[in-house]
Structure 1
Amino acid sequence: MPELPEVEVVRVGLDKWVRGRRIESVQVLDPRSVRRHHDGPLDFEHSLTGCTVSTVARRGKFLWMELDGLPEPAALMAHLGMSGQLLVEEPAAPDEKHLKVRLTLSDMPDAPAELRFVDQRIFGGMFLSALTATSDGGPGGAGSMSKFIPQAAAHIARDVLDPVRSAEDLYTSLRKKTTQLKRAILDQEVISGVGNIYADEALWAAGLSGLRNTATIRRFEVTLLNEALIDVMTRALEAGGTSFDSLYVNVNGASGYFSRSLNAYGREGEPCLRCLEQGRQSLIRRDPFMGRSSYSCPVCQPRPRRIPR
């Protein structure tokens, strides 16, 4: 599933190629991809036609485009799910096999005229969501100075790269929980945008076990974790995100390459690079976790004696 860096790469692409353009027409090719638009696909097509994309914003993995021209303030949500892609294409380009929604845009010099939503597994989708004031009075998300956020994204916490958020905010949120540390940082209401891959990478960088009890976490440990989360996300963003197959691509169809720089995730049985540098011998281990896998070093990320649920 695309995580924060992947979604931010897509947001930046949309900001470059789509912001400021009028939606001339909309074609829903698969109603399942607009199932969260409660008034149905025909209303979705009618509502968007004639609107102008004023802002492209993101909080965590939630991506939206604020629109001018609607009767009431609302944003076009684009949830990528497991395999969703937003691609800018020329009309003459062949339709993708799993093309679900097509938006034809007004002319812009040297810019493709279509925005296409492609989704193989159909877990993602597009829909309109009314805007509501942010709970803390700050900007809604990256790419926007508006103090409004779509109702569909209003429940999630500020994300790792949000400058309004601080390490102290993360510490306060974690100490309110009594659960495993990794479970907590995957909770989008604690801190948004962290997925399984980057959670393992940040925990490894901070030297913390994901099995630690959040009720025992100390401020300096949260500071280390917060710095690790920001560093991992920033480096992944610079690399264009993590890509393990052809499902994740940016708006131009290019994959990310941060998977080549992973220190923990997917490295079961390989030497821990930190331990190797310090003259120790340890191998990355893999443990089952919430139907997925967790990767960590048993030496420099020591497991607690008591493991919370």
Structure 2
Amino acid sequence: MPELPEVEVVRRGLVSWVRGRTIESVDVLDPRSIRRHALGTEDFIGNLQGATVTDVVRRGKFLWLPLADATPDAGPGETPRRPAVALMAHLGMSGQLLMQDPEVPDEKHLKVRFRLSARDGMPGELRFVDQRIFGGLFVTALVPTDDGGPGGLSESPVPLIAEEASHIARDPLDPAFPFELFYQRLRRRKTGLKRALLDQGLVSGIGNIYADEALWRAKLHYARPTDKLRRADAERLLASTREVMLDALAAGGTSFDSLYVNVNGASGYFDRSLNAYGREGQPCRRCAEAGIHATIRREQFMNRSSHTCPVCQPRPRNGRW
């Protein structure tokens, strides 16, 4: 499933292509992809046709496009009124948002098509493609944020957030991420460090891959007790998390198959730079540079796997999770 860097790659692409454009028509080719829109296909289309996309916002893995009524009589540079609703996109395991010219044949698993107002040099359609149909689209309300800050990462931050995303914490790439609150909540938990990182109520957007990578960079074991974590270790972990996600963004995300692509249909290549995840039995690069022989281990964790180096990420002696 796409993690935060992959969703941010999509967000940045959408900002370039759809921000400020009007949705002229909507084709729902497979109603299963809008099943989360409880009022059905006609209401879904009715909320979108004639609306202008004012921004593209992301918090954690949640992605939404705030909408405003079209204002055809607005003068140059005028901004539509502040949106109250948004188009929420959940990519699931195989969802793709692709920009295409109308002349390009439909993709095999095309589910929803949005025809956009013309803009020189830009594709005229936004297409939602989903092979496994675990993702979906729906229209949702925007509500005030509980801390008065921006709803998420965007080009024009406003203190509004998609209702379905309002329960999750800010993510490490959010400029408004509250470290002190994060550290206090972390210390109050009596659990293992990776389990805490995967808790979207504590910090959002971190999945299994990037948790392993961040912990490796920070030289911390996934079972390290959170209530004993020193401030310096928490700061180093957060910095490592940001670094690995920014590196992944620079590489276009992590693609292990053809299902994750950006809005232009290109795959990311950060998987070539992974230091822990998926490298079971291979040398730890950091230890190798120091002349130490150590191999990455894979252990079962929460019905998944964790990848660590036994030398530079030693397991805590009390073994508590």
Both structures adopt the same fold (TM-score exceeding 0.5): yes
Match among 170, 182, 185 for residue 158 of structure 1: 170
The yes-or-no answer on 1:84 pairing with 2:95 is yes
CA RMSD of aligned residues (A): 1.4
Partner of 1:147: 159
The yes-or-no answer on 1:228 pairing with 2:237 is no
Count of matched residue positions in the alignment of Structure 1 and Structure 2: 309
TM-score (norm 2): 0.93
Partner of 1:200: 212
Q: Partners in 2 of 1:198 and 1:93 — Cα distance? A: 35
Q: CA deviation at 1:305?
A: 2.9
Q: CA deviation at 1:307?
A: 3.6
Q: What amino acid is the match of 1:9? A: V
Q: CA deviation at 1:118?
A: 0.7
The yes-or-no answer on 1:116 pairing with 2:127 is yes
Q: CA deviation at 1:247?
A: 0.6
Moved over 4 A (4+): none
Q: Partners in 2 of 1:166 and 1:269 — Cα distance? A: 37
Q: CA deviation at 1:83?
A: 0.9
Q: Partners in 2 of 1:288 and 1:171 — Cα distance? A: 27
Q: Partners in 2 of 1:174 and 1:97 — Cα distance? A: 45
Match among 85, 96, 101 for residue 112 of structure 2: 101
Q: Partners in 2 of 1:152 and 1:164 — Cα distance? A: 19
Q: Report the 3-state secondary structure (helix = DSSP H, G, I; strand = E; otherwise coil) of the residue aligned with 1:118.
A: strand
Q: Report the 3-state secondary structure (helix = DSSP H, G, I; strand = E; otherwise coil) of the residue aligned with 1:131.
A: strand
Q: Partners in 1 of 2:61 and 2:289 — Cα distance? A: 35
Deviations 1:16-49 (Å, cap 9, x if unpaired)? 0001111011111111111111101121012111
Partner of 2:194: 182
Identity of aligned pairs, percent? 63
Q: What amino acid is the match of 1:230? A: R
Match among 123, 126, 137 for residue 126 of structure 1: 137
Q: CA deviation at 1:214?
A: 1.2
Q: Which runs of 5+ in 2 are unaligned?
A: 71-80
Q: Report the 3-state secondary structure (helix = DSSP H, G, I; strand = E; otherwise coil) of the residue aligned with 1:42.
A: helix
Q: Partners in 2 of 1:29 and 1:212 — Cα distance? A: 48
Q: Is the 8 A contact 1:23 1:49 kept in 2?
A: yes
Partner of 1:62: 62
TM-score (norm 1): 0.97
Q: Is the 8 A contact 1:26 1:48 kept in 2?
A: yes
Question: Which stretch shifts more, 137-146 or 203-212?
Answer: 137-146
Q: CA deviation at 1:166?
A: 4.1
Question: Which stretch shifts more, 65-74 or 88-97?
Answer: 65-74
Question: Which stretch shifts more, 64-73 or 84-93?
Answer: 64-73
Q: Is the 8 A contact 1:180 1:307 kept in 2?
A: no
Deviations 1:75-113 (Å, cap 9, x if unpaired)? 110011111100010111111111111111110111111
Q: What amino acid is the match of 1:140? A: G
Partner of 1:267: 279
